[in-house]
Structure 1
Amino acid sequence: MRINITALLVCAAALFTAQAPASQDISLSPDETQWLALHNNIRLGSDSAWPPMDYRDENGAPSGMCAEYFRYAAEKLGMEIIIGPDRGWAETLNSLKEKELDAITCLAKNDTRSEFITYSSIVTDIPQVIITNDEYPYISGLRDLSGKRVAMVEGYATASILMERYPQLDPIIVNTPLDALKAVATGQADAFVGVLAVSVHLIQNKNLANLKVAAPAELPPLELRFGFRKDWPQMAALFSKAMATMTPQEHTAIAQHWVSVKYNPVIDYSL
């Protein structure tokens, strides 16, 4: 039995041409208006190694789908964004913990982070998959990787989930998703579990031609939220309120502007 899985990145310009209706105006209470007036700029950090979801452009500014969602909400609230330094993901999280940053463009919620982060409502969710070398034998899911070397990115929510739920995996800790994919491509790891859109983007743009999307990860979709310093629950609520004004058409336009992934597992019973 063989499973053929195709993943295709398509530019949204070819997919979305309809004019989206205008979003709703945001209505703030007097208390919200007063709080916002006292906190009208925000120091923003991001993950620079997670394209096309989150990365830094040639000028060092946060870019990608997450950054566009964040800018949408900030503009709705009339806020000024101050771009924080690019320090790598683990250090960016620590900067938010130490209140050197006020917010992070997007991240998944977990217990460890919740000790120092307050979250917005869910902005978007994205599927996770298993990446292997082209020559790696057929696998149907994580249970087939017992005892195998699996690349995991330090500080990522997926790494924490895998180590907690699948202790039989042999973790290979790396700094970025690209490092993880290179480890698989060069045989230093047997597999990488990551976000489909990011993995396919990096495989295509970094010429990692010997890698494939091998199977679904059998994990829930990664739910992404804006993250704020723990003592700013008001800001998290305001950004949630701003995002609630976004129309479905606007959501689609932003998502398809950055990535559209078609993921079609097809089982071939002829072998």
Structure 2
Amino acid sequence: MRKYIILIRRRKTNRIFSVSAVLTLSLINIFFLRTGCATNRNSVDHTAVQQTAVQTVKPDFISLTPEELDWIEKHPVFRVGAFSLPPYMIHNHQGPPAGYMPDLLRTLSARIGLTPDFLWFDQLSEVLKQAELGNLEAAMGMIRTEERARLFTFSAETMPLNMAIFARADNDAIHDLASLQGKRLASYTGYALQKVMQEQIPGVSFVMAEDAVNMLQLVVRGQADAAIQELHSGRYILRNYYLNNLEVKDYVQFRGFEQLRGHSYLVCQDVPLLQSLLDKVYLSLTEEDKQDIWKKWLGNSDIPQPTFTPEEEQWLTAHPVIPFTFDPVWAPVEFADDNDHPQGISSDYLHSLEKVLRVRFKPVPADSWKQAQQLIKNGQALLLPALVETRERQKDLFFTSSYLSLPVAIFSAANVAYLGDLKALDGKKWLWWKGMPFRNGCCKIIRSLIFFWRKQLRRPCTWWRRAKPLPLSALSCRQAII
């Protein structure tokens, strides 16, 4: 699997680094724009929704090991700890828990013949205690911490978390993170960010609640000045529990937690096969499957804007136009049209980023991939919108979080014997292009490859197709990636 990210030219000074952080934050926001990860103000009260059975659906392809199949047969039901965190987890007095995370876990489990048995606890701390005692196989809805990592392995599925300050609408004294100094913050037992808040907000004190709902109710009653809560959960609670005198004062980020992410499910360390099973099924879901579950509970509106530091805002103001370059022959990731204008996936991402950052990305055309890299080195362009991160490239470039993953495939002529993995290429002739990022890794596996290189992408693909006398293989011809 190849993951593509935006890179920014590294300089001796640290000023250019701010754009890397800005782009990373904005890409998280683009994720919200493209996936509809936001709260719908007009959504129904899901606490009253009866849970419907999730039908077992066979995935197109989920490769399970004999050990995994045996585990399913011996453990058709597994115990899952749940606590109140609407709309992700909602206590249903007439049945099992509702919400995004229980629905997701039901969907994953049904596809491989498993059934989650949800056990409801009043507090998150009780879930952690029961997991430590061995009374649970899994849990839901947590941020990764060192303490929790000793109990659980974390899901392949993650979601970006936007934290917000919630306070009374008539409290004008609270408007950003700095204004919380010396204030009373509502929290609840087991809340992972409480320690972070205590370390990074001087003079803060805490008023403890039972759960996230009660935490915001303390602010309503004036027993606490504010609460910091995940944005979608907080807005859902305000709307569905009629906390009409609370509002979002600001979005916040804590040092060291700029890319905070949550996990929908966690599996206890002593049942690794369950973790493997759930992750495999999650990775087999289509984007439509995932979005159907998300939109049911969180809708499409109320998309938050990213928050930037003063230094990042200053950098953006000083650089309203950001030059970038791209590979002219790498469709569909990126390529040049007949007028040398950038097209493709990376170009669409940059167009979306322009709206968020309020800047313009100016293309600097290149005749080849080699020239594009040279433009970056010469300072004529500041970024490349799609590049695989390697240790060698890290010496000169900063990288954002990955935003695109594509599988790597082996292509060969029709008359070549079946090639099932990299080792099957041993002794074969392999077509590659100069600068291929994973060539060195392949060489460690395949000792006797013979490499060829051609300057242009279309030529090697044609040349490979015509090479009838020799069984020639190509690993991920760049135009032929599936």
TM-score, structure 1 normalization? 0.83
Shift of 1:236: 1.2
Q: In structure 1, what is the Cα distance between the partners aligned to 2:188 and 2:249?
A: 19
Q: Which residue of 2 aligns with 1:9?
A: 41
Is the contact made by 2:82 and 2:121 (CA closer than 8 Å) also made in structure 1?
yes
Q: In structure 1, what is the Cα distance between the partners aligned to 2:265 and 2:204?
A: 30
Q: In structure 2, what is the Cα distance between the partners aligned to 1:126 and 1:87?
A: 23
Secondary structure of the residue aligned to 2:156 is strand
Of 20, 32, 45, 2:68 maps to 32
Residue identity matched to 1:229: C
Q: Which residue of 1 aligns with 2:267?
A: 228
Structure 2: 5+ residue runs without aligned partners?
Answer: 1-38, 45-57, 307-482
Does 2:216 correspond to 1:181? yes
When residues 130 and 122 of structure 1 are mapped into structure 2, their CA distance, relative to the original with a 3 A threshold, is same
Identity of aligned residues (%): 22
Is the contact made by 1:90 and 1:155 (CA closer than 8 Å) also made in structure 2?
yes
TM-score, structure 2 normalization? 0.49
Bigger proportion of residues as strand = 1
Q: Which residue of 2 aligns with 1:69?
A: 104
Is the contact made by 1:120 and 1:237 (CA closer than 8 Å) also made in structure 2?
no
Secondary structure of the residue aligned to 2:207 is strand
Q: Which residue of 2 aligns with 1:127?
A: 162
After superposition, the C-alpha distances for 1:61-83 in whole angstroms (9 at most, x for unaligned) are: 12100111111111122112223
Q: In structure 2, what is the Cα distance between the partners aligned to 1:85 and 1:187?
A: 29
Does 2:297 correspond to 1:262? no
When residues 25 and 140 of structure 1 are mapped into structure 2, their CA distance, relative to the original with a 3 A threshold, is farther
Shift of 1:86: 3.3
Residue identity matched to 2:74: L
Q: In structure 1, what is the Cα distance between the partners aligned to 2:170 and 2:40?
A: 20
CA RMSD of aligned residues (A): 2.4
Shift of 1:265: 5.8
Q: In structure 1, what is the Cα distance between the partners aligned to 2:108 and 2:198?
A: 34
Is the contact made by 1:153 and 1:176 (CA closer than 8 Å) also made in structure 2?
yes
Is the contact made by 1:128 and 1:222 (CA closer than 8 Å) also made in structure 2?
no
Secondary structure of the residue aligned to 2:110 is helix
Is the contact made by 2:86 and 2:237 (CA closer than 8 Å) also made in structure 1?
yes
Shift of 1:248: 1.1
Is the contact made by 1:121 and 1:225 (CA closer than 8 Å) also made in structure 2?
no
Shift of 1:240: 0.9
Secondary structure of the residue aligned to 2:90 is strand
Is the contact made by 2:180 and 2:201 (CA closer than 8 Å) also made in structure 1?
no
Residue identity matched to 1:253: D
Structure 1: 5+ residue runs without aligned partners?
Answer: 1-6, 13-21, 267-271
User: Does 103-112 or 163-172 show the bigger shift?
Assistant: 163-172
Of 80, 93, 102, 2:115 maps to 80
When residues 165 and 115 of structure 1 are mapped into structure 2, their CA distance, relative to the original with a 3 A threshold, is farther
Secondary structure of the residue aligned to 1:131 is strand
When residues 147 and 125 of structure 1 are mapped into structure 2, their CA distance, relative to the original with a 3 A threshold, is same
Greater C-alpha Rg: 2
